[in-house]
Amino acid sequence: MKTLEDFKNGEVLLIDKPLTWTSFQAVNKLRWAIRKSFSIKKIKVGHAGTLDPLATGLLVICTGKMTKQINTFQGQEKEYTGTFVIGSTTPSYDLETEIDATFPTDHITEDLIHLTTKQFIGKIEQFPPVFSAIKKDGKRLYEFARAGENVEIKSRQVEITEFEITEINTSTKLNTKNLELKFRVVCSKGTYIRSLAHDFGKALNSGAHLSELRRTRIGKFKVENALSPEDFIATLPLED
């Protein structure tokens, strides 16, 4: 069982973030639990890379002196799995917002899908989603988006080292045939998988959005070694 000194000297905690939780909520939950368990007023706790509320998977959370390593961990490559829905788009590029347009998919073949992935391997220019936490003029981009304000977003260079479609399924929603593509991506810091979904749909001469996302790895840290917040809290000593 970890001691207070362990957490102060620095621990790297691998947490499997639940669906709908923000990364901030996960950090706060663990910080509160550590403080309560050891009856202390404060301790440094931070995460190495945000996950959207609609994503699940690996959060690397650092305590005490290990918070100095957060920038190092953030810069390491990341692996994700999830689902693209081809045939419809949303303003947020995921399920945070409603479908705003539908597109044909009858022309899309399995060969075309696998061929198109090759366009995105290597260093690519990518526009972050307007529904994102990136700051511009002191405000988060999603604040502009939710207020219905247009804002100019600059592209950024990211690198995708692996991109594969692992499963192809067909579904019908809103009388439109959608293709549901399961994927795996290995990419650099700063890559938006929502933007990859959007751009992948356009490259197929259709439209797409992200319906599911799970982070499975950051550098050497893997989600199969992670605990849920509740399971981590259960490892802490009970408050006296």
Residues identified as active-site: 52
Q: In CATH, what number is assigned to the domain containing residue 155?
A: 3.30.2350.10
In tens, the pLDDT along 29-60 reads 999 999 999 999 999 999 999 998 999 999 99
Domain-located, residue 85? yes
In tens, the pLDDT along 8-34 reads 999 999 999 999 999 999 999 999 999
pLDDT above 80: residue 88:
yes
Task: Work out the pLDDT band at 103, boundaries 50, 70, 90.
Answer: very high
DSSP string, the chain: ---HHHHHH--EEEEEEPTT--HHHHHHHHHHHHHHHHT-S---EEESS---TTEEEEEEEEEGGGGGGHHHHHTS-EEEEEEEEETEE-TTSSTTS---EE---TT--HHHHHHHHGGGSEEEEEPPPSSS--EETTEEHHHHHHTT-------EEEEEEEEEEEEEEEEEETTEEEEEEEEEEEE-TT--HHHHHHHHHHHTTS-EEEEEEEEEEETTEEGGG-B-HHHHHHTSPPP-
The boundaries of the domain holding residue 29 are: 4-75+220-234
pLDDT above 80: residue 138:
no
Does 229 share its domain with 185?
Answer: no
In tens, the pLDDT along 173-225 reads 545 578 999 999 999 999 999 999 999 999 999 999 999 999 999 999 999 99
Q: Quote the tokens at residue 224.
A: 């199969």
In tens, the pLDDT along 224-238 reads 999 999 999 999 997
Domain-located, residue 239? no
Per-residue model confidence (pLDDT) at position 238: 79
pLDDT above 60: residue 114:
yes
What's the pTM? 0.91
Domain-located, residue 10? yes
pLDDT above 70: residue 72:
yes
pLDDT above 80: residue 240:
no
Does 107 share its domain with 188?
Answer: yes
Task: Work out the pLDDT band at 129, boundaries 50, 70, 90.
Answer: confident
Per-residue model confidence (pLDDT) at position 146: 62
Count of domains in the chain?
Answer: 2
Taking a C-beta distance cutoff of 8 angstroms, is the pair 156, 123 a contact?
Answer: no
Average pLDDT over residues 149-154: 70
Taking a C-beta distance cutoff of 8 angstroms, is the pair 194, 145 a contact?
Answer: no
| Cα–Cα distance list, 234 to 1, 18, 45, 181, 183 (Å) | 10, 16, 18, 37, 33
Per-residue model confidence (pLDDT) at position 63: 97
Does 196 share its domain with 100?
Answer: yes
Does 212 share its domain with 226?
Answer: no
pLDDT above 90: residue 141:
no
Taking a C-beta distance cutoff of 8 angstroms, is the pair 15, 61 a contact?
Answer: yes
Mean pLDDT of the chain: 91
Does 209 share its domain with 166?
Answer: yes
Average pLDDT over residues 119-127: 96
Q: What count of residues does the chain have? A: 240
